[in-house]
Amino acid sequence: MSTSFDHERLSVYQEAIKFVVWSDGILETLPKTLAVYDQLDRAATSIALNIAEGNGKYTAADRCRFFDIARGSALECAACLDVLVAKKKRVEADPGKAILVRIVSMLVGLIRSTSPDRVHENTVSYKTPNEKAD
């Protein structure tokens, strides 16, 4: 029997770890002196860490705060991928963005279910550059 924590059973946490692994493959191809290198590494790590910490909080407000931070880090990762593509660093961003779309969607669901009284934005469909808008 292996030891596990509650957050490890969350699909969103598992997706966050999947993104860390995926992004590590990208980072291995980039020079460490590139500013976006550190930014992507830190933001990808932040997603998983904030999901785990938020899941361990007792109050809805605390949980939401950490899930919000994780969501922001996921969006930051998407922007980092855009920057790498814009800088012509030969990065295929779509697979990573697909993982990030799932993460953001799940985090929004967790935030909404954790805090039903909170004011929410209308649902937004996040698309990769190659997908057509709704």
Residue 72 belongs to domain with CATH number: 1.20.1440.60
In whole angstroms, what separates CA 91 from the centre of its chain?
Answer: 18
Q: List CB contacts of 76: < 8 A, sequence separation 6 or more.
A: 39, 43
Full-model pTM: 0.83
**Number of domains observed in the structure of the chain:** 1
Instruction: Note whether residue 41 is domain-resident.
Output: yes
Instruction: Note whether residue 122 is domain-resident.
Output: no
The residue with tokens 């990065």 is: 91
Instruction: Note whether residue 123 is domain-resident.
Output: no
List per-residue pLDDT tens for the chain, 134 residues long: 577 889 999 999 999 999 999 999 999 999 999 999 999 999 999 999 999 999 999 998 899 999 999 999 999 999 999 999 999 888 899 999 999 999 999 999 999 888 766 555 556 566 666 666 55
Range(s) of the domain holding residue 96: 9-114
Tokens of 6: 């509650």
> Which of 20, 10, 64 lies closest to 43, judged by CA?
20
Instruction: Note whether residue 130 is domain-resident.
Output: no
Instruction: Note whether residue 45 is domain-resident.
Output: yes
pLDDT of residue 91: 85
